[in-house]
Each structure stands twice: as C-alpha cells, then as structure tokens.
C-alpha cells in the first residue's frame, strides 16, 4: 500500500515536472505554456501506446484526482478574475456592450450553424445540446491568457486593453451560462439544489480580502461538489464561487492553481487520439478553425466599428478576442466528460483552441502592437 502511494506521488511529481519543462519550451517559442503542456500529454500518450504500457489503476486515479483539483482551483480563479470585469463601472460596461455583442453573438451564431453539419457524427447527447455547446465554445475568449498578453504588451492600463478585458469577461460569462443550461438537465430536484446554492453565493462576497488559502480551497471544492451532485459539472460551482468571492480569491489561490492545473492539460493532451483522424474529421477541424477565426475576428471588428472605433483599433480588438487558450480547452473538455461531444470532435475543438491562440502574437505583431522591448504601440 505504502509503495503504491509513493509510486503514485513519484509519477505525479514527474508529470508536473515534465509539464513545466514543456510549458517553458512553448513560452520560449512565443506561445502560451498550455501549448507545451498539451504537447507533453500527446507525446506521453504516443510513447505509452508504442511501448504497450498500462498505468496502474491507483496511480491513474491519483493523477486524475489532482488534475481535477487543479481544474477546480483554476476555474475558481477564472471566476474571481471575471468579477471585476463584469462589475466595471456602468458607463464603461455600456460603452463596451456593442463590442462584446459583436465578439459573442456573431461567433456563437456561426458556430451553432456549423454544428448542424457534424452533429450526426459527433453528438452522443443529441443535436440540440451539441449545437448550443459548439456555439458557446466558439464564442469563448480566454480571459487569463488575454490578461497575460495585454500585460506583456503594456496594454493593461490602456483603453484598448480595458475594453478587451471587459468584453472578454462578458463573452465568457455568457458562454459559461450557456454551458450551465446545456449540462443542467431538467430534473426539478437538481434545479432546486442549484437555486439554493446560488442564493448563498452573495454571502461569499463579504469574505475578508485576506481569507486563508485553505479556506478558499475548501469553498472552491465544496461549491464544485454541490453542483456536481446536482447534475451540472463540478466546474460550474467552482467558477460561480470564484465569481462571488472576487479578485482577492484569484490573487490568493492563483499560485496553487498554477502549480496543479498543468497536470490537467497534460491529461487533455493524453486524451487526443490520432486513431480517430479520418479525412472527414480533418475537414471538420479545418471548418471549425475557419468559423472560429472569422466569427471572433469579424464579430469583434464589426462590433468595434459600429461603436465608432478606428479600423486599426477594431482590428486589434478582434485579434484579442480570438485568443482562446486554456479557458477554451477546459470548456471543450468538460463537454467531452459530460458526453455532449465525442472524442473526435473534442480533438477538433482542442486544435481550434491551440491554432487561434497561437495566431494572437503574430497578428498583433503584424498590427504593430508590440512588446515594450520591440517598440511602442502607434
């Protein structure tokens, strides 16, 4: 028993170390760390399959449990980061509404329309929930990655940076609401439990700013357990609890979440099954990527132009909204775990998340939105 436990801990630490190495390599190549973490999982899957190696059940269970804890804490922090954006001054929110609407409604509509085509092959839970889920997935913007991009390019305190953050917060809130509707089910008891949970959430906003990390972790896990018991995914509860707690929760738990969540993305990469690839799936993946890029870039650009912003600023806003990163990957993996999409379409959506995120840096460079070391925003 002790040997098994120590073996599981050794595997866990080894995976976390590998994830860090691959993530650091991706950052050196100018990409988010999540790209390297997923590549680590894909490579491990290929190596294990080639060597016909099976991971012991207890080790796999331990790794999965820690990965899920990392996901819960990460989404708690995402919800906490969203709260200041959604709670921004009323005048700023009103000014951003046309931009947020363009960057949310257009990609959602295009994604939902596209989803009708592959639904016959990839919708185990039915066409309706599949279409709604894919539309929401295409509409997601990764707020944590976006914030990091803005910080690296000295845009966090500039008007275009603040607009992008508020719009991303609104788009993500809408996407997560759609996910809650998709996974909520129709059971009366489930919705009663969720309603009771929602009623106590406002009390979390009164927590002291310096609440101990252990207390915040218990709140995140407890909220996740409640929503999972009610029917929706555990991620919904963690996200809502973080949103209720606010920015203080994100600042306190972010280091712990950052330590553990790479393991979750390694597991995501491990789930990518190249055996599922066929010519039609390749075509579907290409179509998803095109629709996602056109929807976010085009919708963001259109919303910004309708709000009266210059062409260059509108283009920058569209590019920023096209950043999906870790939030998108978590979102689509939840869909896989809940049986809304199958493994093949999960691979297509993960590919879309990676491609659209990788595009952000080069496109911003082309628009001359450079880092302070490389130049100054015009």
Structure tokens at 155: 């845009």
Asked if residue 291 has pLDDT above 80, the reply is yes
- For the segment 128-140, the average pLDDT, to the nearest whole number, is 92
Average pLDDT, the chain: 79
Look at residue 43 and tell me if it is in a domain.
no
The answer to whether the CB of 265 falls within 8 A of the CB of 287 is no
SS3 of 43, please?
Answer: helix
User: How far apart, in whole angstroms, are the C-alpha atoms of residue 363 and residue 179?
Assistant: 30
Look at residue 116 and tell me if it is in a domain.
yes
- Kindly report, residue by residue over 185-213, the tens digit of the pLDDT: 544 445 555 565 666 667 777 777 778 88
Look at residue 228 and tell me if it is in a domain.
yes
- For the segment 9-27, the average pLDDT, to the nearest whole number, is 85
DSSP label at residue 274: G
The answer to whether the CB of 76 falls within 8 A of the CB of 253 is yes
Look at residue 21 and tell me if it is in a domain.
no
For CA atoms 340, 329, 234, 20, the dihedral sign is positive
For CA atoms 66, 67, 69, 74, the dihedral sign is positive
Entry field: residues in the chain: 378
Confidence of residue 377 (pLDDT cuts 50, 70, 90): very low
* Higher pLDDT, residue 187 or 183: 183
Look at residue 103 and tell me if it is in a domain.
yes
Asked if residue 116 has pLDDT above 90, the reply is yes
The reported pLDDT for the residue numbered 189 is 46
Residue % of the chain over a pLDDT of 70: 80
* Higher pLDDT, residue 5 or 75: 75
* Higher pLDDT, residue 122 or 49: 122
Confidence of residue 55 (pLDDT cuts 50, 70, 90): low
Look at residue 138 and tell me if it is in a domain.
yes
Q: Which of 40-44, 114-118, 367-371 has the lowest mean pLDDT?
A: 367-371
Give the H or E element holding residue 357. helix 343-366
The reported pLDDT for the residue numbered 27 is 79
- Kindly report, residue by residue over 204-251, the tens digit of the pLDDT: 777 777 788 888 888 888 888 877 776 556 777 787 788 788 766 667
* Higher pLDDT, residue 235 or 378: 235
Asked if residue 286 has pLDDT above 90, the reply is yes
CATH number at residue 137: 1.20.1530.20
User: How far apart, in whole angstroms, are the C-alpha atoms of residue 210 and residue 284?
Assistant: 48
Structure tokens at 22: 């691959």
* Higher pLDDT, residue 365 or 145: 365
Residue % of the chain over a pLDDT of 90: 17
Q: How many domains does the chain have?
A: 1
Look at residue 246 and tell me if it is in a domain.
yes
For CA atoms 216, 15, 143, 185, the dihedral sign is negative
Q: Identify the CA nearest to 262 among candidates 58, 73, 64, 38.
A: 38
The reported pLDDT for the residue numbered 134 is 94
Asked if residue 292 has pLDDT above 90, the reply is yes
- Kindly report, residue by residue over 143-180, the tens digit of the pLDDT: 767 776 776 677 766 777 777 877 887 887 788 777 77
**What is the 3-state composition of the chain as percent helix, strand, coil, each rounded to the nearest 5?**
80, 0, 20
DSSP label at residue 158: S
Print the domain residue range for 354: 78-257+274-366
The reported pLDDT for the residue numbered 375 is 41
Asked if residue 301 has pLDDT above 60, the reply is yes
* Higher pLDDT, residue 326 or 230: 326
Look at residue 12 and tell me if it is in a domain.
no
- Kindly report, residue by residue over 59-105, the tens digit of the pLDDT: 778 888 888 888 888 888 877 776 655 555 556 667 788 888 999 99
């Amino acid at each position: 028993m002790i040997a098994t436990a120590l073996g599981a801990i050794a595997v866990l630490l080894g995976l976390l170390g590998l994830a860090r190495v691959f993530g650091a390599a991706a950052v050196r190549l100018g990409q988010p760390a999540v790209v390297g973490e997923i590549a680590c999982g894909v490579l491990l899957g290929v190596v294990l399959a080639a060597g016909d190696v099976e991971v012991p059940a207890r080790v796999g269970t331990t790794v999965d449990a820690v990965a899920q804890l990392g996901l819960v804490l990460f989404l708690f922090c995402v919800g906490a980061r969203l709260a200041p954006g959604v709670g921004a001054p009323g005048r700023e929110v009103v000014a951003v509404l046309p931009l947020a609407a363009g960057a949310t409604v257009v990609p959602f509509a295009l994604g939902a329309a596209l989803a009708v085509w592959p639904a016959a092959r990839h919708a185990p839970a039915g066409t309706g929930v599949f279409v709604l889920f894919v539309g929401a997935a295409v509409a997601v913007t990764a707020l944590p990655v976006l914030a990091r991009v803005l910080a690296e390019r000295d845009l966090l305190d500039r008007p275009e940076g603040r607009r992008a953050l508020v719009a991303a917060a609104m788009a993500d809130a809408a996407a997560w609401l759609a996910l809650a509707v998709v996974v909520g089910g129709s059971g009366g008891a489930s919705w009663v439990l969720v309603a009771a949970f929602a009623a106590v959430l406002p009390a979390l906003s009164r927590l002291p700013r310096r609440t101990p990390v252990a207390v915040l972790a218990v709140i995140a896990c407890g909220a996740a357990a409640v929503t999972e018991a009610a029917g929706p995914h555990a991620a919904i509860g963690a996200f809502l609890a973080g949103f209720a707690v606010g920015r203080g929760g994100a600042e306190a738990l972010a280091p712990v979440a950052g330590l553990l969540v790479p393991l979750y993305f390694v597991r995501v990469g491990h789930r990518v099954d190249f055996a599922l690839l066929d010519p039609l799936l390749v075509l579907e993946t290409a179509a998803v990527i095109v629709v996602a890029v056109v929807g976010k870039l085009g919708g963001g650009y259109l919303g910004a132009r309708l709000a009266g912003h210059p062409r260059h600023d509108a283009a920058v806003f569209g590019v920023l909204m096209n950043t999906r990163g870790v939030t998108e990957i978590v979102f689509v993996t939840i869909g896989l775990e809940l049986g809304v999409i199958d493994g093949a379409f999960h691979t297509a959506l993960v590919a879309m998340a990676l491609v659209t995120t990788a595009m952000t840096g080069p496109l911003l460079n082309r628009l001359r939105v450079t880092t302070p070391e490389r130049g100054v925003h015009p």
